[in-house]
Amino acid sequence: MPKAHEHWKVLPHGNVTEIDQNILTVIGNIHMPLTDLPRRMTVARLSGGRLVISSAIALDEAGMRRIESYGRPAFLVVPSDKHRLDAKIWKDRYPALQVVAPEGSRKGVEDVVPVGTTDPQFADQNVQFITVPGTGQQEAALLIHTKNGTTLVLNDLVGNIRNSTGFGGWFLRAMRFAGDAPQIPRPVRWTMVKDAAALRAQFLNWAALPGLRRILVSHGEAIESNPAVVLTVLAKSLEMAEATTA
């Protein structure tokens, strides 16, 4: 895991894009030992113009102005201790931010930035913070409801990288961060899935949400084609893996 940044450091990233009412997203890129890995930041706008920043990425000044014009950064969600790279520098830039992390990742996150809460009160029924069952409380997700439907924001639980090439692409495919369909990456299964039955049940609960429109993942493309079916298939893969190891 790369060392968390101490000073504002802008790595390669794309444009800040509004993908739905009150939702911004931006894709960045981070160099890892064997490959470059895409990463995603998601911004949800709450009532009163407050913003929830999930899996923060330091942007250039044009990108930061775009976010600031959208609202006031109020919550900084660090969805796991693997996604703390830019957490400290965001907190330094916006000292009033309340840092949020799931309980199981709190200690790791607090190695770089103090955590304000593991149970945020957004005071807005359209945005929900969820500590994902079955992950040992290590992973967080967001549900964002708009008039157009529901967006599920996941972190490392699902990989959906499609344009991987070369040796790095081979490695990402071998680890199931990349492939022809969304998958649960192998490192996630090995280190984070503590209760496959509980996680499977959560996937199925999300699949049953009325109006589920898309799934945003930290590593890979947005899942907008049949997201409920994708979750059902992922739940089935957990069931099959559990049966294989039983």
Indicate the residue type of 25: T
The two structure tokens encoding residue 213? 């429109």
Residue 165 has pLDDT above 80, yes or no: no
Identify the pLDDT of residue 1. Answer: 64
Say if residue 38 is exposed, middle or buried (CB neighbours under 10 Å; 0-12, 13-18, 19+): buried
Give the dihedral sign, CA 182/187/192/195: positive
The secondary element (H helix, E strand) that includes residue 90 is helix 87-93
Instruction: Residue count of the chain, please give it.
Output: 246
Name the least confident of 4-13, 26-35, 99-108: 26-35
Query: Using one digit for the tens of pLDDT, what is the confidence trace for 41-62?
Result: 999 999 999 999 999 999 999 9
Residue 246 has pLDDT above 90, yes or no: no
Indicate the residue type of 225: S
Q: What is the DSSP letter of 178?
A: B
The secondary element (H helix, E strand) that includes residue 206 is helix 196-207
Give the residues across from 202 on adjacent strands: none
- Determine contact, residues 129/142, Cβ cutoff 8 Å: yes
- Determine contact, residues 41/56, Cβ cutoff 8 Å: yes
**Taking all residues of the chain, what is their mean pLDDT, rounded to a whole number?**
94
Q: How many CB atoms lie within 10 A of CB 39?
A: 20
Query: Using one digit for the tens of pLDDT, what is the confidence trace for 75-85?
Result: 999 999 999 99
Strand bridging mode 159-160 / 212-216:
unpaired
Residue 243 has pLDDT above 60, yes or no: no
- Determine contact, residues 77/142, Cβ cutoff 8 Å: yes
Return all residues near 85 (Cβ < 8 A) that are at least 6 apart: 2, 4, 5, 30
Q: How far apart are CA 49 and CA 227, in angstroms?
A: 28
Computed on alpha carbons and rounded to an integer, the radius of gyration of the chain in Å comes to 17
Show the domains of the chain with their CATH numbers: 17-245 (3.60.15.10)
Higher-scoring residue by pLDDT: 170, 51: 51
Return all residues near 163 (Cβ < 8 A) that are at least 6 apart: none
pLDDT class of 110 with cuts at 50, 70, 90? very high
pLDDT class of 34 with cuts at 50, 70, 90? confident
